[in-house]
Amino acid sequence: MIWWKRRSRCLGTQAALEWVLNNELPSGGIRVHSRHKRAYPEVTGYLIPTLLDYGQGDLAARLARWLIDIQRPEGAFTDPDHGVPHIFDTGQALRGLLAASELVPGAIPAAERAAGYLVNEMVDEGRGGFRLQPEYETQGIPQTIHLYVLPPLAAAAERFKQPDWAAAAQRCAQHYLAHPQLCCAEQLTHFLAYQLEALLDLGRSGPAIPVLEGLETRQRPDGAVPATSRAAWVCVPGVAQLAVCWYKAGRPEPADRALRWLEQHQRRSGGFRGSTGRGADYFPRTEVPWAAKYYLDAARLRAANGWPAAP
């Protein structure tokens, strides 16, 4: 399938959309990264609402049908390499299933099963958050990224008229709001921005705004933001996610600088590598689909609010 005539140098949102299409596997789903042989349920899921925002309903429907096909009986979705069910991955698949519910009839029962799984994975009905993921500690992933599971869960609670789910999501949010790992500056911007966007989407911007203001002071003149408070290199999807957060928080100036930097670092393929700069160690040699997703989200927010494209 070809959406448009390819040009020798076609950068911007159109090129990023083409990159996503080119990384759909024949067996279904969007591959983990440009050199990976398997598809990623998590990223495939949260790409669906982005694709729908850009009018790509056919691709979104295909991805939703793939998610339905691979969903486990208890409602969970797994990581791409080991087939282990994950709470975070299931939450992002839920985003896609909810977004595609008008396109793919089977998405509705699949979304309900996914939401039920998430509620069942809570500790003390949400008062203790979600079940601990011990492997996160060895990978430098904060448990607080589970905040990003709560907006789709809250949406599912409303869709399926489940007030108990909504209450559990509220209790879960309270748990993470008091968590010592919440929005720590030492975290990779990719993981930090998951938490910031979730807080904004949940209407709990209080803890997010000071962090976003602090990150603005760390932003370089060219728009890049160091990957952590101590790093010199840049996490590319982290910059895209922070642009999304800044736009959602009504701070277009740092968002526009970040978006300008991203557009200067988009590759000829239309994709983005995971990181760049001396010492970069987050997928520095491969193009990752979540960078394209958040770049597309940021560019849409810029256009939707009437802010001009970066020169």
Asked if residue 15 and residue 162 are part of one domain, the reply reads yes
Report CA 81 to chain centroid distance, whole Å: 19
pLDDT confidence of residue 63: 98
Quick check: is 259 in a domain?
yes
Burial of residue 279 (CB within 10 Å: 0-12, 13-18, 19+) is: exposed
pLDDT confidence of residue 11: 85
Quick check: is 6 in a domain?
no
In contact, 226 and 233? CB cutoff 8 Å: yes
Of 164, 181, 198, at which residue does a domain stop? 181
Asked if residue 247 and residue 206 are part of one domain, the reply reads yes
Asked if residue 93 and residue 83 are part of one domain, the reply reads yes
The residue type of 33 is: H
pLDDT confidence of residue 282: 97
Entry pTM: 0.94
Asked if residue 232 and residue 156 are part of one domain, the reply reads no
Per DSSP, the residues of 147-186 read: GGGHHHHHHHHHHTT-HHHHHHHHHHHHHHHT-TTTT-TT
In contact, 191 and 243? CB cutoff 8 Å: no
- pLDDT profile of the chain (311 residues), mean per 10: 39 96 97 95 98 98 98 97 95 98 96 98 98 91 98 98 98 98 96 98 97 97 97 97 98 97 97 98 97 98 73 42
Number of structural domains (the chain) is 2
Asked if residue 142 and residue 23 are part of one domain, the reply reads yes
Domain that holds residue 306: 183-311
Asked if residue 123 and residue 219 are part of one domain, the reply reads no
Quick check: is 1 in a domain?
no
Quick check: is 4 in a domain?
no
Asked if residue 141 and residue 16 are part of one domain, the reply reads yes
Q: 3-class DSSP state for residue 214?
A: helix
